[in-house]
């Protein structure tokens, strides 16, 4: 166990925000984590891939980086494979492991930045698929009681980019491993037009899960900046949900508005479209800005401070509210 002092967190967050942590350590197992916690450095801040956090201040306590590793097939039944992965594994590495072995269900979520441990916490999703669709169970350490607890799919109370770990149990658990339930017989989800169009470009007539993953990777690479080259955290805002009646009213005023029908008389709006209509796409103020290809992505052009990006996000929220009467919520956690 090695505790470092006065460590820059710039390499550990995809926004590339240069803030300092008073103390920093990595853990590779639950036992390893308990050893560090026993040192009593105060309430820790946990980091996985650092792809869903915006630092606006230094961390006076200790930052603990989840590096619990390993991906393996732990069982199967007539219709499914059960794959277990360490919370510190990169999410995309898990996706490609499943694609290589023909374990179906996560291919639409290829190239999402971040770690396995964050996937159920955020209920990450893309192109019509969410973690809740493939989640089986997870193991997490309760920080107060110092014990490991298992959570089933229903235990996690998944919602749109939500789970019990972001509400009732916020800051109470650290996810050590996640087990996914993948299909032996792929049911391909190509409902999103972008995937269909990309498959046509690839001249794929009968797609496999590998083709789907490749198409998604191409789409994401064309729209989203590489965090290694341009600091960002992917989609900064959630796609807002409104009542169908509200959507119909908006459609009269804004015929081009994009919406996807949901159960319960709801419509999910495309946050990127709303932001673009307010003139933010490609905007830059100093080193904080809005990506030129995808308005949903806020970027750090080099040396932006977290407060600069936070201020920009507040201006975007205000402008969308004023123009459309719709409130945007941040998907990224602000520290």
Residue span(s) of the chain under CATH 3.30.465.10 come to: 71-183
Confidence grade of residue 1 (pLDDT, cut at 50, 70, 90) = low
Which residues pair with residue 255 across a beta bridge? none
Quick check: 237 and 296 in contact, CB under 8 A?
yes
Give yes or no: 235 in active site: yes
**Percentage with pLDDT > 70 across the chain:** 100
- pLDDT tens digits for range 138-194: 999 999 999 999 999 999 999 988 999 999 999 899 999 999 999 999 889 887 778
- 231-334: what fold? 3.90.78
Give yes or no: 331 in active site: yes
pLDDT at res. 190: 85
- pLDDT tens digits for range 205-261: 899 999 999 999 999 988 889 898 999 998 999 999 999 999 999 999 999 999 989
pLDDT at res. 48: 87
> pTM for the complete prediction?
0.84
Backbone angles phi, psi at 269, to 5 degrees: -90, 155
Tokens of 150: 């298992």
Report the 10 Å Cβ neighbour count for 22: 16
pLDDT at res. 160: 86
Instruction: Write the CA distances from 163 to 94, 107, 119, 197, 310, integer angstroms.
Output: 21, 22, 10, 32, 24
Confidence grade of residue 312 (pLDDT, cut at 50, 70, 90) = very high
What mean pLDDT comes out for the span 97-112?
Answer: 96
What mean pLDDT comes out for the span 321-325?
Answer: 97
Which residues pair with residue 142 across a beta bridge? 147, 173
Residue span(s) of the chain under CATH 3.90.78.10 come to: 231-334
Give yes or no: 157 in active site: no
The one catalytic residue in 107, 137, 214, 331 is 331
Q: Which of 29-38, 280-289, 298-307, 321-330 has the lowest mean pLDDT?
A: 29-38
Distance CA 172, CA 168 (A): 9
pLDDT at res. 278: 98
Distance CA 265, CA 251 (A): 16
Helix H or strand E segment including 219: helix 209-223
Question: CATH class for domain 4-66?
Answer: alpha beta
Residue span(s) of the chain under CATH 3.30.43.10 come to: 4-66
The one catalytic residue in 23, 26, 161, 330 is 161
Confidence grade of residue 43 (pLDDT, cut at 50, 70, 90) = confident
Task: Note the maximum CA span of the chain.
Answer: 61
- 71-183: what fold? 3.30.465
> Most confidently modeled of 41-45, 200-204, 324-328?
324-328
The one catalytic residue in 51, 235, 313, 330 is 235
Average pLDDT along the chain? 94
> Most confidently modeled of 33-37, 154-158, 189-193, 199-203?
154-158
What mean pLDDT comes out for the span 106-123?
Answer: 94
For the chain, helix, strand, coil in percent to 5 are 30, 30, 40
pLDDT at res. 133: 96
């Amino acid at each position: 166990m090695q505790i470092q002092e006065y460590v820059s967190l710039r390499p550990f967050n995809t926004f590339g925000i240069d803030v300092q942590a008073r103390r920093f350590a990595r853990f590779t197992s639950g036992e390893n984590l308990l050893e560090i916690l026993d040192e009593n450095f105060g309430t820790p801040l946990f980091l996985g891939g650092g792809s869903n956090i915006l630092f606006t201040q230094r961390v006076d306590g200790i930052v603990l980086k989840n590096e619990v590793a390993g991906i393996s097939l732990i069982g199967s039944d007539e219709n499914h494979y059960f794959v277990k992965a360490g919370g510190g594994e990169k999410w995309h590495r898990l996706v490609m492991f499943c694609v290589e072995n023909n374990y179906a269900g996560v291919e639409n979520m290829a190239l999402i930045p971040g770690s396995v441990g964050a996937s159920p916490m955020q209920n990450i999703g893309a192109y019509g698929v969410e973690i809740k669709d493939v989640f089986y169970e997870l193991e997490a350490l309760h920080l107060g009681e110092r014990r490991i607890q298992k959570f089933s799919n229903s235990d996690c109370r998944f919602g749109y980019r939500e789970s019990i770990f972001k509400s009732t149990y916020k800051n109470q658990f650290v996810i050590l491993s996640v087990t996914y339930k993948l299909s032996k017989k792929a049911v391909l989800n190509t409902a999103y037009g972008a995937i269909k169009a990309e498959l046509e470009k690839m001249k794929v007539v009968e797609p496999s899960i590998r083709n789907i993953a490749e198409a998604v990777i191409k789409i994401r690479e064309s729209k989203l900046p590489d965090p290694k080259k341009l600091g960002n955290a992917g989609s900064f805002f959630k796609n807002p949900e409104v009542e169908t009646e509200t959507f119909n009213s908006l459609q009269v005023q804004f015929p081009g508005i994009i919406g996807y029908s949901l159960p319960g008389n709801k419509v999910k709006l495309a946050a990127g479209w709303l932001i673009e209509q307010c003139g933010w796409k490609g905007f830059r103020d100093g080193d904080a800005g809005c990506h030129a290809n995808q308005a949903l992505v806020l970027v750090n052009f080099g040396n932006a401070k977290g407060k600069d990006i936070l201020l920009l996000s507040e201006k975007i929220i205000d402008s969308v509210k004023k123009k459309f009467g719709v409130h945007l919520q941040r998907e990224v956690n602000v520290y």
